[in-house]
Amino acid sequence: MDYEAHIIKLDNVNLVLLKAKRGYVMCGLLNLDTAEKLGHAACVVSGVSNADDVLNAKIIKCTSKAKKIGIREGLRGEEALELLN
């Protein structure tokens, strides 16, 4: 699976985003409403601190564009990234 992992270490938490060709899976620190307004295919997972956590976490929310390509709540991050590639 092809993706770029972006991890920013903050004081007591990591900001995590895994970017694929057509969109991304991000931690709950990032704003899904903004991703929706920008027309991005984006998904949110929660309680993650690294790329492996994102791959195994379940999608809790996603944008309408992500839903159009088959992503839905409950999919694992890895499954969402496969659809985003």
* Domain locations in the chain as residue ranges: 4-84
pLDDT per residue rounded down to tens, the chain (85 residues): 799 999 999 999 999 999 999 999 999 999 999 999 999 999 999 999 999 999 999 999 999 999 999 999 999 999 999 999 9
- CATH code reported for the domain at 4-84: 3.30.1980.10
pLDDT for the residue numbered 27: 97
pLDDT for the residue numbered 19: 98
Entry pTM: 0.94
Q: Please state, in angstroms and rounded to a whole number, the distance separating the CA atoms of residues 14 and 10.
A: 5
pLDDT for the residue numbered 74: 98
Q: Are 43 and 62 in contact (CB under 8 A)?
A: yes
Query: The tokens of 16 are what?
Result: 């995590």
